[in-house]
Chain A
Amino acid sequence: MTMTSVPLSWYLILSAVLFTLGVAGFLFRRNIITVFMSIELMLNAVNLSFVAFSYQWRQVDGHVYTFFVMVVAAAEAAVGLAIILTVFKNRATLQIDDVDSMKN
């Protein structure tokens, strides 16, 4: 197996940009579902890094980690979307600023 012509750092930069986009989406969006989707972007950036490093190290350990991250993403999606649905049922809104009833 030969090394591809694409250097590791390209993957890492791509991953960092993707992660930053995820952070931006999380902080700027108001729709709760889009906020949650931004977290998926961040997790994918992490997976990209894991696979790139794994390739660099000639190991499959990084692939195993990615696999676990996907399992966790699935569990988070199931629980998170269930929570989002109950919020919608009780408040009939998915604007994150409207879900802020607690102070003193």
Chain B
Amino acid sequence: MMDTVFFYIFALMTLGGAILCITRRNAIHSAIFLIMSLMGVAGLFLLQHAEFLFAVQIVLYIGGIMVLFLFVIMLVNLDEEARHRQFNRQWLLGVASVAVAGGSFTLFLRHQTAWTALPVAGRSAPAGNTELLADVLFRNYLVPFEVASVLLLVAVVGSVIMAKKRI
């Protein structure tokens, strides 16, 4: 029962934040509502016993990535931007694409019996435990973990090029 109530609260945060994020005129407001949406997602992680991801979502996503966004928004000229037209003219193309995306998802999700027919998994370990996550990460997914470090190195080098005084 409590779960359902919390689900509704977090789902409302997520969707409300998302809708406001993509409709607000001011980029700062968009970013704040995006943070609200991300917090809703974090709450939904918690409901599904993904405690570690809940923490990472707050610390890394909201604390790291979104702060970066806010910094950049403040570096660029905001007032000038907010006066422009906010939505582009390709309504037809956009509506068509969104309709295709949304339509196919709803069409498919209406057949939700298909999901419940899934066989129950072999592994019986409870999900969400941080220790278990570390085990799986370092045993089963060592290569992507190592390659992710190369990815972060690329991001560092890339940002250096963009910011360096002289190429």
Contact = CB atoms under 8 A, between A and B. Distances in A.
A99 interface: no
Given A58-B121, A58-B125, A77-B69, A82 B115 contact: no
Nearest to B108: A16
A54 B68 contact: no
B162 to A, nearest CB: 4
Nearest to A23: B101
B141 A82 contact: no
Interface in B14-63: 14-15, 18-19, 21-22, 27, 30-31, 34, 37-38, 41, 44-45, 47-50, 52-53, 56-57, 60-61
B44 A48 contact: yes
Determine the interface band of chain B, counting residues with CB < 8 A from chain A: 35 or more
Contacts of A28: 22, 87-88, 91, 94
Contact of B15 (A17, A40, A84): A17
B151 A81 contact: no
Interface of B: 1, 3-4, 7, 11, 14-15, 18-19, 21-22, 27, 30-31, 34, 37-38, 41, 44-45, 47-50, 52-53, 56-57, 60-61, 64-65, 68-69, 72-73, 75-77, 81, 84-88, 90-91, 93-94, 97-98, 101-102, 105-106, 109, 112, 115-116, 118, 120-121, 123-129, 132-133, 136-137, 140-141, 144, 148, 151-152, 154-156, 158-159, 162-163
Q: Chain A interface mostly helix, strand, loop or mixed?
A: helix
Contact of A61 (B3, B120, B140): B140
